[in-house]
Amino acid sequence: MDRRRIVALSGGVGGAKLALGLSRVLAASELTVIANTADDFEHLGLYIAPDLDTVMYTLAGINNAAQGWGLADESWQCMAALERLGGDSWFRLGDRDIATHLLRSQLLAQGDSLTGVTARLCRALGVEHRLLPMCDAKVDTWVMTDQGELPFQHYFVREQCRPVASGFRFAGIEQARISTAVQQAIDDMDALVVCPSNPFVSVAPILAVPGMRQALLASGKPRIVVSPIIGGQAVKGPAAKMLAELSLPVNALAVASHYRDFASHFVLDSADTCYQSAIEALGLQVLVCNTLMQTLDDRITLASRVLSQVGQD
Ligand code: FO1
């Protein structure tokens, strides 16, 4: 197949890793990354968009690879000064990172859409592949926990994912709409790749945008989910802990079952071949390969292996 227009759904650090691999294999016109925005929140009077920024900084090659989020070579003078004043410093904003939040907040306040602001920031950072928010409306993930309902970043950062989760709610999702840019990407795509992101708080909000799941299914194109669970563990983040707290088995089969009515293909790590036949019995085509992305080459190799599924049918 000469044309390979790919739409990738991404949230968090794992998603950005595969997005980078895909960006190295696909031309700018062949890849659109749709990022979760239900982690976004207003903090210190600034609009913070972690999953958009993690993909944007990663594709720009300026991300803090060790930390997963934020910028490389950061300084923390503003946080230190804020602490001195008794301000909130639990959510770590580096001095250079704050420039992104200042400009985004200013442009949004002037009435620009999150889609438009994201395009402007990507252009400024030399990111040529298209990065789109899942929608332009504000959606907020709330985590139901044994300590009550927590806004996502309070659960994830302030409480370090310690509370026991029992459910999730995406406030404002009813008002969300598929943007023209997202619809265009779906209409044009040859395949969808669901990056190895948290199914519950990174991918679920994107699929919960009214009409999104239906539009992706109606495309009739391959929908390839890369498992975020390897050998019964999440590479990073609370996906495994959430599976356990939702009384689901902590393994790749449970993730495949979660996507059984949506995915056409499932990418399973070589460590988890014991689940291959059970996942195929769900009706999913299974690709087994190394899905642990430790190096840039791992990211590119996984992207190539995933794309090898496109045009096979
Ligand atoms: N994650 C943390 O664990 N601690 C932080 O202080 C933190 C700050 C931060 C600042 C900007 C940004 O874009 C992301 C940041 N993250 C931090 C990560 C963020 O909470 C997560 O990446 C997503 O919300 C979930 O994937």
Distance CA 14, CA 277 (A): 25
In the chain, pLDDT over 70 holds for what percent of residues? 98
pLDDT in tens, 99-109: 999 999 999 99
What SS3 class is residue 182? helix
Q: Are strands 6-10 and 191-194 parallel, antiparallel or unpaired?
A: parallel
Are the CB atoms for 104 and 136 separated by under 8 Å?
no
What is the atom index within ligand 1 of the atom nearest the CA of 90?
Answer: 6
Q: Quick check: CB of 200 below 6 Å from ligand 1?
A: no
For helices 12-25 and 296-307, the axis angle rounded to 10 degrees is 70
Say if residue 3's pLDDT is above 80. Answer: no
Cα(43) to ligand 1 centroid in Å equals 12
The pLDDT assigned to 310 comes to: 82
User: In sequence order, which ranges of the chain are alpha helices (DSSP H)?
Assistant: 12-25, 50-60, 77-84, 95-109, 114-124, 152-153, 180-188, 204-208, 212-218, 239-245, 252-258, 276-281, 296-307
The pLDDT assigned to 309 comes to: 83
pLDDT in tens, 189-227: 999 999 999 999 999 999 999 999 999 999 999 999 999
Say if residue 313's pLDDT is above 70. Answer: no
Residue nearest to atom 18 of ligand 1 (CA): 69
pLDDT in tens, 135-168: 999 999 999 999 999 999 999 999 999 999 999 9
Q: Which residues does residue 31 pair with via DSSP β-bridges, in sequence order?
A: 6
Q: Quick check: CB of 71 below 6 Å from ligand 1?
A: no
CA distances, 199 to each of 78, 204, 208, 257, 267 (Å) = 34, 6, 12, 11, 14
